[in-house]
Chains A and B, each alone.
Chain A
């Protein structure tokens, strides 16, 4: 047996070690113990010492397991029946039936083309990488795609830096903490929540979550999360039934439906053209708009300046006026108020 050396370890590329580990775990029925894996599998065995002191290698194995699971590969842990908790006897395996894409699943060339377009919707962040991997798996089925759907370049953006940590927490059922700044309040408050779903509604990302201190469901706008999202070590058990994203979207739709604003627009202006297209009722320069969040709408309407005059509700009138007052104050004269 040759001495395990750094040089020997260097020869085995990371992907070769991972690939060999997946193959070994797929091939075993009853599973392999950690010692069996480290001493026999390509990429580990070169660095394994039979006299012990394999702590580095064990940590490597832990990271590799995480990497493999990240790809959606069902790597199972089987506790020893007589001695649960003894991790020297714990066995690892990948059940073939849960690894393989079910045989009855087939995709038509038109469906592959549509899925390829769906993957292009995400251009950044983890959703982009995951879409690309899903397409790779689809391509492995060997189905030729129809001509790509041409002429479209659809895109959903994720501007909020809170999105990725929230998605991770959602995935791993971690409780998170973040500072949330409600409009009209001068300081952000810390919220401690169990994330249930991330949904984009009318172009805005929302987090649907269970607010732990108040023990109730809450919806947060990602754009109002200030500073970093802190993922705590606490985990929570998600309710058995899924469908949170769908329910959250339905609730937001209902809110949108129930709230309406009446505005007047100056004819021939940008506001008249653009807002009329999304108005639910149009009557001679007066439009009815639905909305989910009053302050989000106030920001949008303020951008149109004198082209829009809000009639009702009064809270929206006040919100728009206070925005204009603030804009004037910050831009008139030589000093901005934030100097003070």
Chain B
């Protein structure tokens, strides 16, 4: 029932948005309206049919003809075109809710660190427009600006120009390699920025962390693979068959912290609010960093080789502190 309500609410929002659009256009095809709103044509037709029989109770409280919207039914049924011939009650776009305005404003705040947003005034004016167009003061949700990697602007330019780039890349094993990449898409997750691109030496799509790149150069070579022809999943981290499966134990409410590494296997809930889950990691060099950064929260259960790796990694750090004290 709650779902029905949400669904109906979205449909209502759509109807209220569609009416002023149709009115402004006077005459619009179902195809164009569907493209403009990014919905399928049947949703437009269904909505128009509903709008055309809706209206207000009117003086007689009985929904007389003049109390209802009307459309040119011949155009609609024969030519798939929409012409509203009689309007009721609404003729303008609705305001944003305080929460809707806040969601877009916070999104803009996040984008403000992008290189093309150098002109902060433009963004500021856009935010104030959203606030003025909202029914209440936009709710207090905000994203702080942070400095982005200087490489971002250069990579952005090479994505736009379609030029191949080269850089030194440190993999998490600590090995530096020269990589030649067709840059395809810049992706981010909170603070971290990534490049998805076609890696020429691997002949495959790879994801690179911007902060692991150094000595970046843009070449004059045009890219040979384009974003449209290379399948890229939405998720940054694609698991592969060579991944290790590692079982870890952690408190139930910490599961979200390692969501990126979870397999589809459901967590096995244990006693005392602790669960066991299976993680996919590319190699145990990555695993030891993950676990050492979640010390006291996540514990590796198996395999033993992974446990040893993690313990060795932390012990090596302790040895360095011990050396320093001995010095």
| Contact across chains for A102 and B319 when beta carbons are under 8 A apart | no
B146 — which chain A residues lie within 8 A by C-beta?
Answer: 202-203
Bound together, the chains give a CA A71 to CA B97 distance in angstroms of 6
Which of A2-10, A23-31, A78-86, A211-219 interfaces with chain B? A23-31
| Contact across chains for B185 and A153 when beta carbons are under 8 A apart | yes
| Contact across chains for B17 and A303 when beta carbons are under 8 A apart | no
Closest to A183 in B: B296
* B86 sits at the interface (CB 8 A): no
| Contact across chains for A73 and B296 when beta carbons are under 8 A apart | no
CB distance from A99 to the nearest CB of B (A): 6
Which of B77-85, B136-144, B198-206, B237-245 interfaces with chain A? B136-144
Q: Which of A72, A167, A203, A321 contacts B135 (CB 8 A)?
A: A72
* B295 sits at the interface (CB 8 A): yes
| Contact across chains for A127 and B94 when beta carbons are under 8 A apart | no
| Contact across chains for A157 and B140 when beta carbons are under 8 A apart | no
| Contact across chains for A152 and B186 when beta carbons are under 8 A apart | yes
B230 — which chain A residues lie within 8 A by C-beta?
Answer: none
Once A23-B90, A151-B186 are accepted as A-B contacts, the answer to whether A200 and B143 lie under 8 Å apart by CB is yes
* B290 sits at the interface (CB 8 A): yes
* B20 sits at the interface (CB 8 A): yes
| Contact across chains for A277 and B149 when beta carbons are under 8 A apart | yes
CB distance from B194 to the nearest CB of A (A): 9
* A161 sits at the interface (CB 8 A): yes
B212 — which chain A residues lie within 8 A by C-beta?
Answer: 270, 273-274
Bound together, the chains give a CA A278 to CA B318 distance in angstroms of 25
Q: Which of B135, B142, B214, B294 contacts A74 (CB 8 A)?
A: B135
* B134 sits at the interface (CB 8 A): yes
Binary interface encoding of chain B residues 4-38 relative to chain A, with 1 for a CB under 8 A from any of its CBs, else 0? 11011111111111111100110000000000111
| Contact across chains for B320 and A309 when beta carbons are under 8 A apart | yes
Bound together, the chains give a CA A302 to CA B318 distance in angstroms of 10
Once A23-B88, A23-B90, A155-B188 are accepted as A-B contacts, the answer to whether A324 and B111 lie under 8 Å apart by CB is no
CB distance from A310 to the nearest CB of B (A): 8
| Contact across chains for A277 and B191 when beta carbons are under 8 A apart | no
A200 — which chain B residues lie within 8 A by C-beta?
Answer: 110, 142-144, 190
* B189 sits at the interface (CB 8 A): yes
Which A130-183 residues have a C-beta within 8 angstroms of B?
Answer: 130-131, 133-137, 139-142, 144, 149-157, 159-161, 167, 170-171
* B281 sits at the interface (CB 8 A): no
Q: Which of B126, B253, B288, B301 contacts A161 (CB 8 A)?
A: B253
Identify whether the interface residues of B are mostly helix, strand, loop, or mixed. Answer: helix
Once A121-B107, A323-B292 are accepted as A-B contacts, the answer to whether A331 and B299 lie under 8 Å apart by CB is yes
| Contact across chains for B318 and A328 when beta carbons are under 8 A apart | yes
Bound together, the chains give a CA A288 to CA B128 distance in angstroms of 37
CB distance from A322 to the nearest CB of B (A): 8
| Contact across chains for B142 and A246 when beta carbons are under 8 A apart | yes
* B61 sits at the interface (CB 8 A): yes
CB distance from A284 to the nearest CB of B (A): 17
CB distance from A38 to the nearest CB of B (A): 11
| Contact across chains for B211 and A273 when beta carbons are under 8 A apart | yes
| Contact across chains for A331 and B126 when beta carbons are under 8 A apart | no
* A285 sits at the interface (CB 8 A): no
| Contact across chains for A273 and B170 when beta carbons are under 8 A apart | yes
* B159 sits at the interface (CB 8 A): yes
| Contact across chains for B300 and A331 when beta carbons are under 8 A apart | yes
The total of chain A residues at the interface (CB under 8 A) is: 122
| Contact across chains for A323 and B111 when beta carbons are under 8 A apart | no
B314 — which chain A residues lie within 8 A by C-beta?
Answer: 302, 305, 323-325, 327-328, 331
| Contact across chains for B100 and A137 when beta carbons are under 8 A apart | yes
Closest to B304 in A: A334
| Contact across chains for B90 and A199 when beta carbons are under 8 A apart | no
* A281 sits at the interface (CB 8 A): no
* A57 sits at the interface (CB 8 A): no
A154 — which chain B residues lie within 8 A by C-beta?
Answer: 110-111, 114, 187-188
CB distance from B67 to the nearest CB of A (A): 9
Which A38-85 residues have a C-beta within 8 angstroms of B?
Answer: 39-42, 63, 67-68, 70-74
* B216 sits at the interface (CB 8 A): no
| Contact across chains for A27 and B316 when beta carbons are under 8 A apart | no
Which B37-84 residues have a C-beta within 8 angstroms of A?
Answer: 37-38, 50-51, 54-57, 61-63
* A88 sits at the interface (CB 8 A): no
Binary interface encoding of chain A residues 88-103 relative to chain B, with 1 for a CB under 8 A from any of its CBs, else 0? 0000000000111111
* A332 sits at the interface (CB 8 A): yes
B149 — which chain A residues lie within 8 A by C-beta?
Answer: 277
B156 — which chain A residues lie within 8 A by C-beta?
Answer: 151
Which B113-152 residues have a C-beta within 8 angstroms of A?
Answer: 114, 116, 123, 126, 129-130, 132-137, 139-144, 146-147, 149
| Contact across chains for A142 and B174 when beta carbons are under 8 A apart | no
| Contact across chains for B144 and A72 when beta carbons are under 8 A apart | no
* B92 sits at the interface (CB 8 A): yes
Q: Known pairs A154-B188, A269-B174, A270-B212. 13 more at Cβ < 8 A?
A: A22-B12, A101-B94, A105-B129, A115-B104, A122-B103, A140-B21, A167-B141, A171-B99, A249-B144, A273-B212, A302-B292, A332-B307, A338-B249
User: What are 6 of the A-B contact pairs (CB < 8 Å)?
Assistant: A18-B8, A137-B94, A140-B19, A157-B189, A273-B170, A331-B307
B residues near A (Cβ < 8 Å) are 4-5, 7-21, 24-25, 36-38, 50-51, 54-57, 61-63, 88-90, 92-104, 106-108, 110-111, 114, 116, 123, 126, 129-130, 132-137, 139-144, 146-147, 149, 156, 159-160, 170, 172, 174, 176, 184-192, 209, 211-212, 214, 227, 234, 249, 253, 256-257, 259, 274, 288-296, 299-301, 307-308, 310-311, 313-321, 324
Give the 10 A-B residue pairs with the shortest CB-CB distance, closest first: A72-B97, A303-B293, A118-B107, A203-B191, A140-B17, A245-B142, A14-B8, A197-B140, A100-B92, A327-B314
